[in-house]
Amino acid sequence: MTGDLLVYGSYGYAGTLISERAAAEGLDPIFAGRDAEPVEAAATRRGCDHRVFSLEHPPVVDGMLAGVDAVLNCAGPFEETAEPLIEACLRTRTDYLDIAGNVDVLESIAARDAEATDASVALVPGVGFDVVPTDCLAATLHGRLPEATELTLAIDGLGTFSPGTLKSVLRGLDRPGAVRQDGHIETVPLAWKRRTVEFPSGETTAVTVPWGDVSSAYYSTGIPNIEVYAGVPDRAAAVMERTRPLARLLTIGPVRRAAEALIDRVVSGPTARERAESETHVWGEVRTEGGRVARARMRTPDTYDLATATAVTAAERVLAGEAGRGFQTPASAFGPEFVEEFEGVTVEFLTEPQRVVQ
């Protein structure tokens, strides 16, 4: 690996875990963000350089990226931070990564592929939990059944949340549900579909969610029809279906700001012990028009622990030039097997490609 890495948002919950690990692994990252005190404190503790800047003034951002080879954006909401950082990266020819998992953010980054290619810049979003394990599982299944036209992914065991994650969920209610149909992203109601998924922990009710794989998995596999589900208790699924009209209330400015302030007061993120005791399960299925199907499932460590490891390793590989240039998903940049390199990740194939009788 060669080059300098700047971690923007290095003092949030996920940003702290990631910047600390990057420093521990010898990347000597530049700690960065808009608030001076936490940036300086974290950088001093690790003996690293730091830079304090907001994203409001492009010339300032360009100057702060001087001499930097890659930026890893950990500062949500990514709807606000991704675009100004990417603009600066394109102007300064700096590679860009983030841990976003928002459909619209990922779509907007994918749309900049040609610009990034022309500028010889790599754009690799989604290098955290959402979307690395699901993206790699989708690409692995597609490799087993390349003619698949339908992809279904499901995640269970999301028991730990940071303030940033919960605030991203709130902001995501602008699009309560999303699926990909015939190659196009379609907005659907909250918990639009319900199904039962066979996770390692047993059969679980799951509902559709508008998570990043609705975007990223399309670019990793080319599969035109994609649905993503999250495991929830039966009662919660019923509540989500009944309260669909209320979800929009949380997108109203004052209501959302009040909810975000409450999150900041009462949510601190999981402790190291809570993360160590947490496990997440991913399930995937691909189908062809003729009825052939392949299924697999995956066990992973806690979402934040895995995201920390994948984000830092992805940054190392981008710095080493492995992602090339232009827009890439984690699976297209580093291969479908990327996630299996990390401790605690196992994949189980439930079927070989076969015909299913409906």
Residue 30 shares a structural domain with residue 154? no
Residue 314 shares a structural domain with residue 292? no
Confidence category of residue 21, pLDDT binned at 50, 70, 90: very high
Residue 86, CA distances (Å) to 35, 129, 277 in order: 20, 21, 36
Confidence category of residue 354, pLDDT binned at 50, 70, 90: low
Mean pLDDT to the nearest integer, 134-139: 98
Q: What is the CATH number of the domain that holds 63?
A: 3.40.50.720
Q: Which of residues 274 and 237 earns the better pLDDT score?
A: 274
Residue 72 shares a structural domain with residue 153? no
User: pLDDT per residue over 203-224, tens digit each?
Assistant: 988 889 899 999 999 999 999 9
Residue 140 shares a structural domain with residue 266? yes
Contact 356, 248 (CB under 8 A): no
Mean pLDDT, the chain, rounded, equals 87
Would you say residue 247 has pLDDT above 50? yes
Mean pLDDT to the nearest integer, 97-106: 95
Residue 163 shares a structural domain with residue 240? yes
Q: Which of residues 314 and 245 earns the better pLDDT score?
A: 314
Residue 187 shares a structural domain with residue 171? yes
Q: What is the CATH number of the domain that holds 290?
A: 3.30.360.10
Residue 124 shares a structural domain with residue 136? no
Q: Which of residues 273 and 333 earns the better pLDDT score?
A: 333
Would you say residue 238 has pLDDT above 60? no
- Give the burial string for 60-85 (b: 16+ CB within 10 Å, else e): ebeebbeebbbbbbbbbbbbebbebb
Residue 259 shares a structural domain with residue 236? yes
Confidence category of residue 281, pLDDT binned at 50, 70, 90: very high
Residue 159 shares a structural domain with residue 17? no
Residue 115 shares a structural domain with residue 145? no
Both tokens of residue 118? 């022309």
Sequence-separated (6 or more) residues with CB below 8 Å from residue 158: 230, 231, 280, 303
Confidence category of residue 191, pLDDT binned at 50, 70, 90: confident
Report the number of distinct structural domains present in the chain.
2
Residue 222 shares a structural domain with residue 310? no
- Owning domain of residue 44: 5-128+305-334
Sequence-separated (6 or more) residues with CB below 8 Å from residue 23: 29, 46, 47, 48
- Residue 21, number of CB atoms within 10 A of its CB: 17
Mean pLDDT to the nearest integer, 124-153: 96
* The pLDDT of residue 163: 47
Residue 103 shares a structural domain with residue 228? no
